[in-house]
Amino acid sequence: MESAPHGIVLLGATPIGNTDDASARLREALAVADVVAAEDTRRLRDLASRLGIEVRGRVIAVHDHNEGERAADLVKVAADGGTVLVVSDAGMPTVSDPGYRVVSEAIAADVPVTVLPGPSAVLTALALSGLPTDRFCFEGFAPRKAGERARAFGSLVAEPRTMVFFEAPHRLVDTLRAMVEAWGADRQGSVSRELTKTYEETRRGTLGELVAWAEESQPRGEIVVCVAGRPAEALGTEAAVQEALARIDGGERAKDVVADLATTTGLPRRDLYDAVLRARQSRSADARPS
């Protein structure tokens, strides 16, 4: 018996601002796909209109709230021989956007998946930042709540790679201030906004300088923040303790965290463990009602 025909799942990168950045492969896929799974169907149809393309396939909404329910149906279309195109509002699907569950489902069902490369806010901002690009990590959006944000940044104290974050304009100042608190005002960074659009702007400097700029200018638009990783010199005891506390708060065992940081920083394990214990006891004492 012959195996059932297999179609394909396509992940299509869409323009992050400038419509002319749409690739020839994306344009073709929009015209011929049997199903187009779009994060926002209205934005998808607007993009197709600007590109002068008629989308003949079925267009369905697939976003964070329903992707889990619709992934299996989309993969079945491809398993039955159809072409499924997955697109987000801007940039590459699965990168802080829907698409991951569809890809996982397709892999599990042995359905082919490929990517139509194109625009990426992460890589564009990284290239513009002026920071090291040989090693970097993408951290998505910072937590909205102040305490969770502080713990998240505390866990990155020892991160040696350039870090890339997305952020909403109305939270930018608070996020930059939290970065200063976690990593120091002298850490280098950049803020990019409206990438590939008419008013594209990238501001570079220390985190302290970027806070002052953001407070004064109140930048608008879609924003990407890049921050240099920890300098090559060993992490100091105080900073190591702060990272340890953040990781312990996140659920890791104190002994495991200390062992890891001792290896990373070169600090004596016993001394670091004692410092962490003192810091935890001090914090507990401060939290008690007077």
For the chain, the average pLDDT equals: 92
Same domain, 74 and 35: yes
Place of tokens 């501001």: 203
- To the nearest 10°, report the CA torsion of 115, 121, 122, 125: 140
Same domain, 16 and 48: yes
Residue 205: in which H helix or E strand, if any? strand 201-206
The CATH number for 82's domain is 3.40.1010.10
Q: 223 near 166, Cβ under 8 Å?
A: yes
Same domain, 182 and 165: yes
Residue 1 has pLDDT above 50, yes or no: no
Same domain, 94 and 55: yes
What is the rounded distance in angstroms from the CA atom of residue 142 to the CA atom of residue 119? 22
Question: 284 or 52: which carries more pLDDT confidence?
Answer: 52
- With respect to residue 2, please indicate whether it lies within any of the assigned structural domains: no
Count the domains in the chain: 3
Mean pLDDT along residues 197-205: 96
Mean pLDDT along residues 40-68: 96
Domain extent, residue 130, equals: 122-227
- With respect to residue 274, please indicate whether it lies within any of the assigned structural domains: yes
Buried b (16+ CB within 10 A) or exposed e, 12-48: bbbbbbeeeebbebbbebbeebbbbbbbbbeebeebb
Lowest pLDDT segment from 84-88, 112-116, 158-162, 204-208: 158-162
The dihedral sign for the CA sequence 45, 48, 53, 58: negative
Q: Which two tokens stand for residue 34?
A: 């049997």
Q: Is 266 left (phi over 0), alpha (psi -120 to 50) or beta?
A: left
- With respect to residue 290, please indicate whether it lies within any of the assigned structural domains: no
Residue 282: in which H helix or E strand, if any? helix 269-287
Residue 288 has pLDDT above 70, yes or no: no
